[in-house]
Amino acid sequence: MTASAPSAHHEISLAELYDDPYPIYARLRESDPVCWLPAAGRYLVTRHSDVVHLERHPEIFRANEEGSLMTRVMGHTMIRKDGDAHRRERAAAEPALRPRIVKEHWQPLFERNTHQLIDEFVARGSVDLFSDFAGPLAARNLACLLGLPNVAATDLQTWSQAMIDGGGANYGDDHAVWARARAATEAVDAAIDEILPRVRRNPDPSVISCMVHADDPLTLDEIRANVKVIIGGGLNEPRDAILTAAWAVLGDPELRTEVTADPSLWPRVFEEAVRWIAPIGMYPRQVAEPTELAGVRLQPGDKIGVCLGSANRDEAVFSDPDRFDIHRSKTPPHIAFGGGPHFCLGTWAARLSVGRIALPILFDRIPDLALSQDEPVRIGGWVFRGLLTLPVTVPAGTAPHSY
């Protein structure tokens, strides 16, 4: 095939992508899988095979993007580094997130947090699982993981959203968004500075402690930047996975009967949820050398938008991709956690906290949980996508947990 210059899609707006990117992605996958999106200032890559190829060649498609929104907000994080620099910082944080540590140390804390939150809202009868359960739970779990007992869940949620709005999605250059992001980063820095003397004296299994006591300890700037990026992804991803999965189960009586009868299926619900609506819908890369992708010529410096939300609904890979189906083939797998050297560091914590704790406990403790008939579910986003509300009703008489 002769390589060509990519076409430009001036007709696609960021607002349309925010409202519902999937019809747009379907058109692009079919006719223009690598295209220029002027509204975002980058080439969108929408097919599963091209995303996999890109992740297998990090020497060509670099994470260290010039002018990165994330770097502007959070500092130079490991997510925007390549090669040895990335490996060094990832290795410093990784011990706190190993599967064995997650299971042995963090699981009891995640279970306690889940039960406590349910106890807090069951008496109210009508709640929003976004604001009353999934958001606070993700924040409490993350505060434990990071080692920030001095931070309230409400603050962590506010900071996370502000940094995501700026560093992950502010392609429209909204100055108010930048101001909120700056305020959040200053608050995160203050919280880290407050806790560092304690973990220097008394090491613990937390991410911050691991960064401080690594064989090659991270600098203060490196700790600050990487804690910020973990607050962003480590809060919104499990939150949105809980909400997507709960919404799917609440809306499908047959699926609900199946998973409540066989709780071993909940991890499948989690995996299908992050395929169906990938919490990280798009992330950036930058081309390092002349190359071709899907027959399109790309040059050094070209900026890429890697559309996981599109790749995970590629009809060439997943049959009936818009349908929620926990029994679909696992081969090829979804790529909601990315791939290559930047495969999500928090994958095991997310799988445990959502698929093996939050969802089974929620539906076990409240078997008659139901979608609200009075308030609609709202959903939005394309760089990060998820439910914005999930109003439900809780029958009277749900018993508190016995600790």
CATH of the domain at 67: 1.10.630.10
Of 97, 113, 112, 103, nearest in space to 206 by CA: 97
Question: For residue 176, what are the contacts with CB-CB under 8 A and spacing of at least 6?
Answer: none
Q: Is residue 300 part of a domain?
A: yes
> Please, which pLDDT band fits residue 173 given cuts at 50, 70 and 90?
confident
Q: Is residue 389 part of a domain?
A: yes
Q: Is residue 145 part of a domain?
A: yes
Single-letter code of the amino acid located at 348: W
Q: Is residue 381 part of a domain?
A: yes
**pLDDT score recorded for residue 157:** 95
Q: Is residue 402 part of a domain?
A: no
> Please, which pLDDT band fits residue 270 given cuts at 50, 70 and 90?
very high
Of 141, 72, 96, 64, nearest in space to 304 by CA: 64
Q: What is the pLDDT of residues 316-375, one digit of tens each?
A: 999 999 999 999 987 788 999 998 899 999 999 999 999 999 999 999 999 999 999 999
Q: Is residue 2 part of a domain?
A: no
Q: Is residue 3 part of a domain?
A: no
Residue 395 pLDDT more than 90? Answer: no
Q: Is residue 311 part of a domain?
A: yes
Q: What is the pLDDT of residues 90-136, one digit of tens each?
A: 999 999 999 999 999 999 999 999 999 999 998 787 799 999 999 99
What's the pTM value of the predicted model, to 2 decimals? Answer: 0.94
* CA-to-CA dists, residue 63 to 148, 223, 329, angstroms: 28, 19, 30
Phi (first) and psi of residue 371, to 5 degrees: -65, 140
3-class secondary structure, 110: helix
Higher pLDDT, 73 or 140: 140
- Split into its structural domains, the chain has a count of 1
Could you write out the DSSP letters of every residue in 273-298? HHHHT-SB--EEEEE-S-EEETTEEE
Contact assessment for residue 164 and residue 236, using Cβ atoms and an 8 Å cutoff: yes
Full domain range(s) for residue 37: 14-393
